[in-house]
Structure 1
């Protein structure tokens, strides 16, 4: 941080109209800082289907380092247009890339940096690799896999390291698809405490994110599935590995030592992106922007300004 100094930063919120296949939709956004004061960092939240709240620690980059930060809820999520009746094939990475491009145009952003977390990092990688977006200066892929099959393997490996009774409970309820049963919730919380967020008390923003996800979140269930540990949605065969060599901008890859995104999931980014750095947070799991907050912000700031 800047010796404890806090920069006075304006905050604005709004909605960007987005027309898609005849539907009139809206993307809710929040800007912390002045877009005219420097190159903004646009953030992509995870899920798919997790609203932006848990990303708000990144506002530190505006208040302590003077970097304007853009948050938004992707379609089907949070304060943006919810579409509970859309069929599963409506929800695609291309849809969310089009939404991102529309938001950039709405905000009149011509040069920007991009940070995606978890699913947001997958989306950011696909955007950078397949669209060669004009104006993208630097890319940060945080706690993300390069392949969903690798992600599933990492989840399996981490699950097998849990206590036997927890594994048994998870397996029983996964097979029965009884994901709302209290036994299952208690067992999955053991996994979360090791690999989602290792802080003794969850930040309010993380709790707010989880509590705002409905029991039948259309985008989450369509793209990922109802189980955290067994992805069966439309992303189950997703991979960006064949296209990673096409990412032209300097890229920073981040993960945590105890992350769901284990090194195996992250390694292809480091192997195939031409200009890339990789940092692993020694005391973090899947949310180092909370678990090692100050260090995370310093590393991101140094990369963006380096």
Structure 2
């Protein structure tokens, strides 16, 4: 597979940005979070995994910053705002990049897609990495509400709930409270992340699937649940979360016990974007997982 950035043409006529970096026998395909994020969260992965010899591929999903951005207000384009579409898109990217016997890593929304992919296309996978994503949304909703109640006073929680009921998401006080939650539980060290002079987030995609922010799950994914199917994923799986994640760690522990071949590791001082918060700890975890799977080491033992 040739390294570098290139556009691929999908069967639907749209174009996606892809980027492949690093060299080695281990092939890793990364799926970004959001929905509506982009590949940049993975730009340092080849360097972080360099001692192992890993070729890292990444891409921007339809609507995301470097790929085609259709007007989703048009009815003809709304057919693409489905989980099935983004799963089929992932498989088309896999085919065009020529990946087989590869590792699939998904962060957040990308981890949701990765679980769906493993259930439908597991024959292509060597291993699976789920970053900050559990197997259902209802437990996530319960947890983010509990985090908000733990962090704020009852009056502040009530203020946020009233703003959400009235859809006053741009209210300055509401936004201030949201940003405080983000600093605690999403990206604890944002100064280490990518920088742009313009907004890069695909809000239309994010709002459709998620809602206004990480703490208001009102989008179409709110009922997604794969708890009953998780045991069908039999490839070696790494579950990696920040120790201050928005995702409930009790659910992560249940997933580790349910999956036949899984390891759970928590990144210290990490939020939902723990590869940004603490990259040295995160890459150590990922290197150990890849090394052990390549050596066929059993994964049932785990550490936190």
Q: Report the TM-score, using the length of structure 2 for normalisation.
A: 0.87
Q: Secondary structure at the match of 1:68?
A: strand
1:5 corresponding residue in structure 2: none
2:165 corresponding residue in structure 1: 175
CA RMSD of the aligned region, Å? 2.1
Check whether the contact 1:256–1:282 (CA below 8 A) recurs between aligned residues: yes
Cα distance in 2 for partners of 1:210, 1:94 equals 30
Higher relative contact order (CA 8 A, sep 6+): 1
TM-superposed CA distance for 1:209, in Å, is: 11
2:97 corresponding residue in structure 1: 107
What does residue range 241-252 of structure 1 map to in structure 2 within 5 Å?
241-252=227-238
Is 1:122–2:109 an aligned residue pair? no
Is 1:211–2:203 an aligned residue pair? no
Q: Secondary structure at the match of 1:48?
A: coil
> Which has the higher mean CA deviation after the structures are superposed, 226-235 or 149-158?
226-235
Q: Secondary structure at the match of 1:284?
A: coil
Cα distance in 2 for partners of 1:24, 1:113 equals 27
Is 1:148–2:137 an aligned residue pair? yes
Equivalent position to 2:225, from 239, 243, 265 = 239
TM-superposed CA distance for 1:210, in Å, is: 9.2
1:49 corresponding residue in structure 2: 36
Is 1:12–2:4 an aligned residue pair? yes
1:194 corresponding residue in structure 2: 184
Q: Secondary structure at the match of 1:159?
A: helix
Cα distance in 2 for partners of 1:54, 1:208 equals 13
TM-superposed CA distance for 1:146, in Å, is: 1.1
Cα distance in 2 for partners of 1:209, 1:195 equals 24
Cα distance in 1 for partners of 2:111, 2:68 equals 22
Cα distance in 2 for partners of 1:189, 1:111 equals 40
> Which has the higher mean CA deviation after the structures are superposed, 61-70 or 95-104?
61-70
TM-superposed CA distance for 1:138, in Å, is: 0.6
> Which 5+ residue runs of structure 2 have no aligned equivalent?
293-304
> Which has the higher mean CA deviation after the structures are superposed, 81-90 or 290-299?
81-90
Cα distance in 1 for partners of 2:197, 2:132 equals 17
> Which 5+ residue runs of structure 1 have no aligned equivalent?
1-9
TM-superposed CA distance for 1:58, in Å, is: 2.1
Cα distance in 2 for partners of 1:68, 1:209 equals 30
Cα distance in 2 for partners of 1:130, 1:246 equals 10
Check whether the contact 1:196–1:260 (CA below 8 A) recurs between aligned residues: yes
Cα distance in 1 for partners of 2:40, 2:151 equals 29
Q: Secondary structure at the match of 1:123?
A: helix
Seen in structure 2, the aligned counterparts of structure 1 residues 77 and 209 have a Cα distance that, compared at 3 Å, is farther
What does residue range 26-65 of structure 1 map to in structure 2 within 5 Å?
26-34=15-23, 37-65=24-52
Check whether the contact 1:144–1:265 (CA below 8 A) recurs between aligned residues: no
Check whether the contact 2:192–2:277 (CA below 8 A) recurs between aligned residues: no
Structure 1 moving runs of 4+ over 4 Å: 86-89, 207-210
Cα distance in 1 for partners of 2:234, 2:7 equals 31
Equivalent position to 2:150, from 157, 161, 165 = 161
